Amino acid sequence: MHKSILLLLTFILTTSQCFAAHQYLEKEYQNKWCKANNGTTEYILSDKTRVDCLTEDYAIEFDFANKWAESVGQSLYYALCTNKKAGIVLIMENPPKDQKYLLRLQEVAKKYDIRIWTIEPQDMLQMKPCSNIN
């Protein structure tokens, strides 16, 4: 009985990745976009926090669309620490549904001068340097 429960738990934990809600991991979007835009991924700050992508001009935070609000604070903090401009790459895996998050982010970005880019799963197939959307 004890062995069966352990086996079941092991199966659930090892297969849960197969049923993840996202098509790609945040790190995969980050690596692909940052490389295409000549950035440094996971740039470590003096307080041991990590900028997702640091380019010549921007300290950029990546987040899935529903976490748009979290990305604002992080991008502003990273910009402050690096003396760069704040940037956010919003991951939009379901653009019709995620549009509401993008609109919210655009309002805040306008006020705080944050540059926004978006990335979608199809962008992972062929990535070119991106232009901003705001």
Q: Residue 79: give the domain boundaries.
A: 23-124
- Please choose, from the candidates 124, 117, 121, the residue with its C-alpha nearest in 3D space to the C-alpha of residue 58: 117
Q: What is the mean pLDDT of the chain?
A: 85
Give pLDDT, residue 133.
Answer: 53
Whether 115 is covered by a domain: the verdict is yes
- 20 backbone dihedrals φ, ψ, rounded to 5°: -60, 150
pLDDT higher than 90, residue 21:
no
Whether 9 is covered by a domain: the verdict is no
Number of domains in the chain: 1
Whether 6 is covered by a domain: the verdict is no
What is the layout of strands, in order, in the sheet containing 85-91?
A: 40-44, 50-54, 58-64, 85-91, 115-119
Whether 15 is covered by a domain: the verdict is no
pLDDT higher than 60, residue 134:
no
